[in-house]
Amino acid sequence: MFKNRSLLALLVIAGFLFSAGIISAQQGNLVHKVVEGETLWELAGRYFQNSFSWPLIWEANKEIIADPHWIYPGQDLVIPPQTVSGQVTAPDTAAGQPEMQAEAATQEETPAEEMVYEPEPAKETPAVSVRKTQAMGYVKRPTPVVSELMAFEAGFISDELDKPTGHIIGSDRKDIEAMMANDPVYINLGSRDGAKPGDKHALYRVGQKVKHPQNGKNLGKIINIVGVLEVTDVEEKTSRAKLIKTFDGISRKEAFRPYVQIIVPKDVSPLPVQKSNQGCIVAFKQTNATATEYKVAYIDQGLANGIMPGDVFEIYRTGTMASDPDRGGKNILPELIIGQLQVLSARNNTAAAVITNSKVEDIVVGEKIRLIKQVPTR
């Protein structure tokens, strides 16, 4: 049998593209290869039409992105799917191979010097039944304005946290000090306490006390969320559970309270506002003295101020006084916009936010903030 080289090359290329499409369909994700100069912020704007959704890409690629500030050329990043196409199988069509053979027989024979010789197969290949699929539509997945997982992990400031619901009291893993996701644990809640399989609890640690940097008012303590456990088997006084999420190594004495899912607005983008709330940064999740992009900060604006997840603040510094050597006197320099942050979760008088961009490397507690965008769901 003879075939044209060009036709053969096209078939090979088409086969390659088809197989790649199958892989993509099986994985259900789009993969983006990073080029020089790209950032998660830019990729979120390109694929989600909302740059503030960059944590969604980070969350899907944490195994290869050590620091969201840095992505590198050549990295293959999974872009979380926004739509899923539904498909149904159509009835079997007539055998496709004989039609292909008949069509090939009618093609004009090509010159000998452009031919490739292929020996005839020993046996006739059986006809292959071809099944067709038809796209029936698309189901749009709601896009959260910020990452729900990041909002949960960010923690919060509380001045009203009661004693814990319970504690981890043991584990089957005697060989390790710090436990991680999927490790089994035992807790001091049982059927007498109302525990039942499927119950979820958030593991937490009480952090530093926070005072307002301007007036010294006590705002509470930072509550660091370190994981989530789920009850699997219940006895009278104790229960067996499994760690289903961990954000740090888990000890055998961690405290927990009932898990409450973080709810954030979906399928919306923050819109510019005219009248802006003003406040300041009161603490950072990490105990560093300074912070920059992608770090979690706590602010003195919360639900009582109409603030909710997704709202955007700019961080600014007021202009300083500068002497004029020519005319004498002093002038006030213009204020400096040094960055932005976006609210992840809000409580009554405070909120957790992530610094989405920064023009400086030394954002500190006490920096002034003002609201510039709000999520339009009020």
pLDDT per position as a tens digit, 355-369: 999 999 899 999 999
At 150 the pLDDT is 94
Return d(Cα 330, Cα 351) in angstroms, integer: 38
Name which of 194-198, 227-231, 326-330 the model is least confident about: 326-330
Per-residue pLDDT tens for 174-186? 878 899 999 999 9
Both structure tokens of 148: 């729900």
Output helix, strand, coil percentages for the chain, rounded to the nearest 5. Answer: 20, 35, 45
Return d(Cα 113, Cα 136) in angstroms, integer: 47
At 369 the pLDDT is 98
Return d(Cα 256, Cα 204) in angstroms, integer: 6
Mean pLDDT taken over the chain: 80
At 289 the pLDDT is 78
Highest mean pLDDT among 28-42, 265-279, 322-336: 265-279
At 104 the pLDDT is 39
Per DSSP, the residues of 217-259 read -EEEEEEEEEEEEEEEEE-SS-EEEEEEEESS-B-TT-EEEE-
Mean pLDDT for the stretch of residues 141-151: 91
Mean pLDDT for the stretch of residues 77-93: 50
Report angle CA 291, 296, 299 to the nearest 5 degrees.
95
Terminal alpha carbon distance of the chain: 71
At 281 the pLDDT is 98
User: 208 or 325: whose pLDDT is higher?
Assistant: 208
pLDDT greater than 90 at residue 112:
no
Per DSSP, the residues of 306-331 read T--TT-EEEEEEPPPEEE-TTT-SEE
User: 148 or 67: whose pLDDT is higher?
Assistant: 148
pLDDT greater than 70 at residue 126:
no
Highest mean pLDDT among 145-154, 288-297, 317-326: 145-154
Residues 6+ apart with CB under 8 A from 296: 154, 155, 284, 285, 286, 344, 352, 353, 354, 355
10 Å CB burial of residue 167 (0-12, 13-18, 19+) is: middle
pLDDT greater than 90 at residue 66:
no
User: 318 or 124: whose pLDDT is higher?
Assistant: 318
In the chain, % of residues over pLDDT 70: 75
Q: Which domains does the chain have, with CATH numbers?
A: 1-121+130-143 (3.10.350.10), 148-258 (2.40.30), 271-374 (2.40.10.340)
Return d(Cα 68, Cα 84) in angstroms, integer: 27
At 263 the pLDDT is 86
Distances in Å between the alpha carbon of 149 and those of 30, 145, 263, 345, 377?
Answer: 21, 12, 10, 11, 21
Name which of 11-25, 244-258, 328-342 the model is least confident about: 11-25
Question: What confidence category does residue 284 fall into, taking pLDDT thresholds of 50, 70 and 90?
Answer: very high
Question: What confidence category does residue 59 fall into, taking pLDDT thresholds of 50, 70 and 90?
Answer: confident
Closest CA to 277 of 179, 350, 202: 350
Question: What confidence category does residue 125 fall into, taking pLDDT thresholds of 50, 70 and 90?
Answer: low
At 298 the pLDDT is 98
Highest mean pLDDT among 13-17, 88-92, 160-164: 160-164
Per DSSP, the residues of 60-127 read HTTTT-SSTT---TT-EEEE--SEEEEEEEPPP-S-HHHHHHHHHHTSPPPPGGGEEE-PPPSSPPPP
pLDDT greater than 60 at residue 82:
no
